[in-house]
Amino acid sequence: MSDTPTDESAGSDPLDEAQQAISDARRRLAGIPAEVVVSNHVMGLYELAAIHLGSEPPSLSEAALAIDAVGCLVEGLGARLGPDSDTLTAALANMRLAFVQIKNAAG
């Protein structure tokens, strides 16, 4: 087996490859319902809040920002988030409760 590039890869341009990868990703993303994508972002913000609440010491201001962002999306969009809206609402309530408990414990 040789390490020399094949004719096919010899002329490939990294910028062209990156642009093609972005184009492919956009095409795949366009096929996913927006409620799924937005819900995934909500869960990412939820995880971010959990990370900040779980750090030692807890980073309450960072957690509060992430929790408020989750609240804006979940409460602002409500049922438009689809079948996961109730789960996201419950997750938001749990995260708010955890925030208050951790804040009170920190004194």
Q: For 52-91, what is each residue's pLDDT tens digit?
A: 999 999 999 999 999 999 999 999 999 999 999 999 999 9
pTM comes to: 0.80
98, 66 contact by CB (below 8 A) = no
pLDDT of residue 3 exceeding 70: no
| Banded pLDDT at 106 (limits 50, 70, 90) | confident
R_g (Cα) of the chain, nearest Å = 21
The mean per-residue pLDDT over the stretch 21-25 comes to 95
